[in-house]
Amino acid sequence: MFGNRRNFRQIEHEKQTMLDPVALARASRERKRKIARNILFSVFGVIFAMVASWTVIRAVGKVNLEKQAQAAVPVLQTPETIEAPPEEKQEWKEGWVKYNGKIYEYNDDLITFLFMGIDKSGKVKEVAEGTNGGQADALFLLVLDQYNREINIVGINRNTMTDIDIYNENGDYVDTVKAQIAVQHGFGNGVEKSCEYQVDAVRKLLYNIPIHGYAAINMKAIPIINDTVGGVNVEALSDVYDEKDRKIISQGEAVHLMGNDAAMYVRDRDTGEFGSADVRLARQKQYLTNFVSQAKAAAKDDIGVVSELYNQLMPYMTTDVTFDEVAYLAPEVTGYTFETDGFHMIKGETVMGEEFEEYYVDEEALYDLIIDVFYKEVGLND
């Protein structure tokens, strides 16, 4: 029965084979060419889809970052003409600043991000409003100059005494007091609100410099970041101990930091020792300097390391920087220069408070740093 139900196409094929084998062979070759063409179109189609998607993602990220940068730019306006050499008329513009006999304006080519290291283990999770958000034990402001293609980093001592806004368990503002800047992140919900409070505190400390984005990373994530870029080399600035108080690194030792060693290198601190925060900050500065170089090299070799890093960090990170913004920035930043003098520490002095160490900023030095890093000269002198 089944032998009689033959495929119509099969019957036709047999007929053609007997009647016109040449035409049949030609038709067969044509069919194969068509199949190959279709496969080729499909492959190109997939490639174009991937390229288009990546390009669109980067374009969206670029647009978002531009909007944020432009929103912070002071709108300059036109005053009357002031005295100037006859061959060159200059006008005082809104937002200009005179400092040490020179005129400066805010460098609107800058994009800034605040990175916070939070003293919490485990993955990020929202907590009830109160004081359980975790303290920002590491605070670094990443400053990207899009025009000069430079990276600068400003390090902030976690004990810097500054205005801290106090919020109650309902999230309502209560008061502003002077306290260590690290504690600001403790208020809020441990995620976005805490970060926003911290960003606000840093912004006010730094003369209201715009901060375009933030990333708060639980200390648990340090080994992940570190190992993703292949580890970081340091010559240890001090002895480092692990959670069980065992010495794992000796001062002066040349170390290739991997895993938990990297975490302890940037976290370890003997709170009973005066100035321990300063010692740790020096290690953090060193680590970060070397990490940036390592990360740039790794990203240059394989830009995919950026998305890998972003995805691996997500469970341990609170950030308002979106993936499309990272996708836009990362390939750009790998070409930026980062000099050793591009790492700026805010000068000041540590003193012992009633209970905890307190760091008092040298305001003159800070103002100098603000002008140096965030402003550019416009060339109108006395």
Partner 1 sequence: MTSRYMRNISICAAALLLAVSGVGCGKGAETQEDITAETDENVAVNENGGDPSESNGEDNAVTVTSTSDPDAIKSRNIDIPALAAENEEIFGWLTVPGTDIDCPILQSAIADDFYMTHNSKKEADESGALYIEMANMTNMCDFNTVIHGNGGEKGLFRELVNFENPDFFDENETFYIYIDGDVLTYEIWGCMERDNTSLIRTYDFTYASGCRQFMEDVYESKIVGKQIRNGWEQLSEYNFMVTLTIDDPDSDRQLVVYGTLIEDPAGIIDRVIEE
Residue 146 beta carbon to partner 1: minimum distance, rounded to whole angstroms = 6
Contact yes or no for 213/110 (Cβ under 8 A): no
- Contact residue for partner 1 among 6, 15, 98, 300 (CB under 8 A): 98
> Could you say which residues in the range 259-278 bind partner 1, by CB under 8 A?
none
Per CB under 8 A, contacts with partner 1 among 109-138 are: 109
Residue among 150 and 227 whose Cβ is closer to partner 1: 150
Residue 48 in contact with partner 1, rule: CB under 8 A: yes
To partner 1, the closest distance from the beta carbon of 88 in angstroms equals: 13
359 lies in the binding site for partner 1 (CB under 8 A): no
Candidate residues 51, 128, 352, 365; the one interacting with partner 1 per rule CB under 8 A = 51
Out of 24, 64, 72, 275, point to the residue binding partner 1 (CB under 8 A): 72
Tokens found for residue 246: 């065992």
Assign 3-class secondary structure to the chain.
Answer: CHHHCCCHHHHHHHHHHHHCHHHHHHHHHHHHHHHHHHHHHHHHHHHHHHHHHHHHHHHHHHHHHHHHHHHCCCCCCCCCECCCCCCCCCECCCCCEEECCEEEEECCCEEEEEEEEECCCCCCCCCCCECCCCCEEEEEEEEEECCCCEEEEEEECCCEEEEEEEECCCCCEEEEEEEEHHHHHHCECCCHHHHHHHHHHHHHHCCCCCCCEEEEEEHHHHHHHHHHCCCEEEECCCCEECCCCCEEECCCCEEEECHHHHHHHHHCCCCCCCCHHHHHHHHHHHHHHHHHHHHHHHHHHCCHHHHHHHHHHHHHEEECCCHHHHHHHHHHHCCCECCHHHEEECCEEEEECCCCEEEEECHHHHHHHHHHHHEEECCCCC
**Which range binds partner 1 by CB under 8 A, 29-37, 136-144, 296-304, 337-345?**
29-37
| Site stretch for partner 1 (CB under 8 A), options 35-43, 226-234, 236-244, 342-350 | 35-43
Size of the site for partner 1 (CB under 8 A): 60
Q: Which is nearer to partner 1, 51 or 351 (CB)?
A: 51
Q: Using CB under 8 A, which of 112, 135, 146, 226 touches partner 1?
A: 146
Binding flag, residue 377, partner 1 (CB under 8 A):
no
Q: Does 21 engage in binding with partner 1 (CB under 8 A)?
A: no
Q: Which of 15, 26, 149, 300 binds partner 1 (CB under 8 A)?
A: 149
97 binds partner 1 (CB under 8 A): yes
Cα–Cα distance, 173 to 64 (Å, whole number): 30
Of 32-40, 179-187, 243-251, 307-315: span binding partner 1 (CB under 8 A):
32-40
Quick check: 38 binds partner 1 (CB under 8 A)? yes
Footprint of partner 1 (CB under 8 A): 31, 34-35, 37-38, 41-42, 44-45, 48-49, 51-52, 55-56, 58-59, 62-63, 66, 69-82, 89, 91-98, 106, 108-109, 146-147, 149, 163, 204-208, 332, 367, 370-371, 375
